[in-house]
Structure 1
Amino acid sequence: MIKECKSIAEVRENIDSIDRKIVKLISERSEFVEQAAKFKKDTEDVKAPKRVEAVIEKFRNIAYENDVNPDIVEEVYCTMISCFIKQELVDHAKINI
């Protein structure tokens, strides 16, 4: 359960704490994305549009389960996935030189 904050400073402190955790998790995710590049045959495997679609749908459902706007979750994940695909394409190209 989320605690009730008594000031905007407390709200910001909690958001900052959550944001630090999010960045740490993005870093961990990045390491796995880097590893994934090794297992993909070509750039189409990296882009994997059907996989992206499935991931977005999965997280929309998780958003509903957690009572958060699924459009926000979708937009965040679409942006994150797009950024990771760009990085994975770079990593994949280095592997296949």
Structure 2
Amino acid sequence: MQAFTTLMRQRQPQALEEWFQSAKTCGLPDLVTFARGLERDRVALKAALRLSWSNGPVEGLVNKIKLIKRQADGRASFELLRQRVLLAG
């Protein structure tokens, strides 16, 4: 896991294949399952390591909107909810 953390933090897509091989042969069932799951989405994982784009800001905004919606919880009309979302943005 330390090797995986290092290659993610240092953004090293070239080290990914070697990590897959070592993780699948390590003998730890949880790590093997984790590696196989990541391997199925290999293309997206390599793209995440190569590209600087992130959907983090969008996810943060969605989280904020959901929080506002939960706070209203049926007590507010759509227009009031709309205004709260627009003012929070």
Structure with more of its chain in helix, by fraction: 1
> What is the TM-score of this pair, normalised by structure 2?
0.33
> What is the TM-score of this pair, normalised by structure 1?
0.31
- Point out which structure has higher relative CO (alpha carbons under 8 A, 6+ apart): 1
Larger Rg: 1 or 2?
2
